[in-house]
Amino acid sequence: MTRRYRSVQRQPRSRRGIACLGWITALIWVLVALVAAYLFVLRPSLSRTVGEQAVQRLNIDGTQSGAGVLPTLVTALPSGEVRISEQEINAYLLAHAGLLAPIDQATVRLVSGGLEVDIRAFGLDGTARMGVALQNGRVIALNPRLDGPLGRLVSLGDLLAPIEQRLNELLEAQGRRITDLRIEPGELIVTVTDT
């Protein structure tokens, strides 16, 4: 048996094919760089800016007294244990909807150990989920995350950072301290003491 081998001649690649491959590779790298810039620079910056604007709107609500919603809320907290239902929270959010811009709608659900908020903002929907806790006498959000299309636009952790900071500054400035904070189904329980 004899084997016949065909000689296979390699065809030289055309320059056009090599150039096209180079452009596709460059385009992929540009897209990767744009996505990385959005995820690590633009998204956190946008989220923090929205949070800072929310703090400004909540600090000064345009009333004659100039006292904002957030300082008024902190001042209004009585010493001792306070129980706030999710119906009261949702009614308050509805009454002050103008201050929540760019949030068009927000509905809070208090579930065991945390809260869920259905949000509509920037024409997108999302569900925020987080726990709350005390750390070194400061109120913090635990594992905040924002699901849905809105979560791709805004990072909840970066958005909440300025709000947490301002809330804790107001508590300290007014000589108040939250000593217990827990969420039970349908109810937020806060214990406040004067320092």
* Res. 75: pLDDT tops 70: yes
The token duo for 16 is: 């056009």
CA dist 168 and 103 (Å) reads 23
Mean pLDDT of 74-97: 88
* Res. 13: pLDDT tops 60: no
Q: Note the pLDDT of residue 43.
A: 82
* Res. 65: pLDDT tops 80: no
**By percentage, how much of the chain surpasses pLDDT 90?**
39
61 vs 171, which has greater pLDDT? 171
CA dist 158 and 164 (Å) reads 10
Task: Summarize pLDDT for 88-126 with one digit per residue, the tens.
Answer: 999 988 888 887 778 888 899 999 879 999 999 889 999
The token duo for 135 is: 């750390």
Q: Write 43-49 long-range contacts (CB < 8 A, 24+).
A: 43/153, 43/154, 43/155, 43/158, 44/155, 44/158, 46/153, 46/154, 47/154, 47/155, 47/156, 47/157, 47/158, 47/159, 48/158, 48/159, 48/161, 48/162
Mean pLDDT of 2-11: 58
Task: Summarize pLDDT for 126-147 with one digit per residue, the tens.
Answer: 999 999 999 988 999 999 999 9
Mean pLDDT score of the chain = 84
Q: pLDDT tier at 64 (50, 70, 90 boundaries)?
A: very low
Mean pLDDT of 16-23: 75
Residue 154 contacts residue 144 (beta carbons within 8 Å): no
Q: Note the pLDDT of residue 131.
A: 94
- Alpha helical stretches, state H, the chain: 15-37, 43-59, 69-76, 86-95, 149-153, 156-173
pTM recorded for the entire structure: 0.72
